Chain A
Amino acid sequence: MLDLALFLILLTIGYFAGRATEHRHYKSILLREKASLHLPTVTSKMLPEVDQIAKSFLVTGSCVISIDYFKRILAVLRNIIGGRMTAYETLIDRARREAILRMKYEALGSHIIVNTRVETASIFSSASQNGIGSVEVFAYGTAIKLKKKL
């Protein structure tokens, strides 16, 4: 009985805390995306003419986001019957956008980021035994500062 009560309490805390965090995070992501819209971030490997480049350097951004208890339970249930793991979608989406934003922040002062790559890794220690379940997204690219603006 105590087990069940603890479960329901964790579930409720997980749900409300997770929702609040997610909501706040998305608000901040949208704001910062708007603010950094002026910096082109592309996946193309095409570089500007070499003689136009004043400076080029590696920029990276990484973000680790954890699931909440509610999402974990949702995922366990979803695991049984299969289908879209909607509980994890926002998680990955947030991590990816946050990582790119951080990378852009590191590229402040440059004119473009080329060859942007995004990689992901799951960080977890036996999530089935109430361990940690989180995802890391790592974004990197080459920031280029031009002698004169494009």
Chain B
Amino acid sequence: MKYTPKLLTKNVNTSTTHPLKEFAILTGGILGALILVYVLLGFVLEWVVVPHIPQSVERSLGELFLGNYAVEDSPERQYLQGILDRLVEHEPSQTLDYQLHVEESPMVNAMALPGGHIVLYRGLLDRVESENELAMILGHELGHFAERHHLIGLGRGLVLLVLSATLLGDQSGITQFLQDSLATVESRFSQRQEQQVDEFGLHLLQKTYQHVAGATDFFERIQKEDPEGPLAYFFASHPSPANRVDFLNELISSAHYPMGEKTSLDLPE
């Protein structure tokens, strides 16, 4: 047998695909597919699952969350609850037992939690000047309940968690990357939702007070504030206040809602 020395000139054992190209195809494809799944599941949740979640389930879900917001029945809370109750009377789809809680935190935020719980943060209360603008904020949150956004949000969060955990395991970098991408998708959804419930809140304000004075006050005031401070969360999760003011003003003029006398807010000590 004759031995022929042979130098490798072409390497059949390695592919010639550029690694960056492969990376682009893989991330693009997988990310695209995941976003698609996420969006589709989001719609399924919104239209199929969430409308059929019975109120009893929602109530027990709410109890899970409520552990963080202990109810201390102060005169202040009762006063605020009174404003909420007045709005609820005019809320057509009222089915839940709406409860208001005040969270002692400098953050400017209000939340709708499953089970009809509305959490107002101290930072927000401090910036509110009239009952009417507070009613607008509460009406907004009631809108989230009416549209069941709090459940949809919960479901989406769950989908995201399951998707990233099963597919990517604990590769924290990629998971983070994925979450950031999906958060962008999510904010598209939420912008639409926020507008929807701003409209709901405005109509409720008109039904309750027979005028809409103060509807835009709060947003106009915080517009001028530093977007980095306690307002950071508010700005991140909601459309810009300027946009909301414009949107509400447009609605007010097209519906010919009147402006009346504002009621001042007298928070009991």
Contacts and interface: CB of A to CB of B under 8 A. Distances in A.
Nearest to B20: A15
Contacts of B30: 77, 80-81
Interface string A49-93: 000000000000000000000110110111011001011011011
Interface string A26-56: 0000100110011010101010000000000
Given A81-B29, A86-B22, A89-B14, A42 B3 contact: yes
B22 A87 contact: yes
B171 A73 contact: yes
Interface of A: 3-4, 6-8, 10-11, 15, 19, 30, 33-34, 37-38, 40, 42, 44, 46, 70-71, 73-74, 76-78, 80-81, 84, 86-87, 89-90, 92-93, 112, 128-129
B74 interface: no
Given A3-B176, A46-B1, A86 B15 contact: yes
A74 B23 contact: yes
B170 A129 contact: yes
Given A11-B173, A40-B5, 7 more contacts: A7-B172, A7-B174, A81-B26, A86-B19, A89-B15, A93-B14, A128-B170
Contact of A34 (B7, B15, B27, B169): B7
A6 B14 CA distance: 30
Interface string B174-188: 101100100000000
A3 B168 CA distance: 15
Q: Is the interface of B mostly helix, strand, loop or mixed?
A: helix
Contacts of A81: 26, 29-30
Contacts of B167: 80
A81 B26 CA distance: 9
B236 interface: no
Interface string B1-30: 101010110010111010110110011011
B174 A76 contact: yes
Nearest to A3: B176
A36 to B, nearest CB: 10
Contact of B169 (A15, A37, A92, A128): A128
Contacts of A38: 5
A56 B168 CA distance: 52
Contacts of A19: 19
A74 B29 contact: no
A128 B171 CA distance: 7
A34 B8 CA distance: 9
A123 B266 CA distance: 70
Interface string B135-177: 0000000000000000000000000000000011111111011
Contacts of A40: 3, 5
B37 to A, nearest CB: 12
Contacts of B17: 86
A33 B19 contact: no
Closest 7 CB pairs of A and B: A7-B173, A77-B26, A3-B176, A86-B15, A89-B14, A40-B3, A4-B176
A19 B19 CA distance: 9
A11 B7 CA distance: 34
A93 B180 contact: no
B173 A4 contact: yes
Nearest to B169: A128
A4 B168 CA distance: 15
A74 B22 contact: yes
A93 B11 contact: yes
Contacts of A77: 23, 26-27, 30, 174
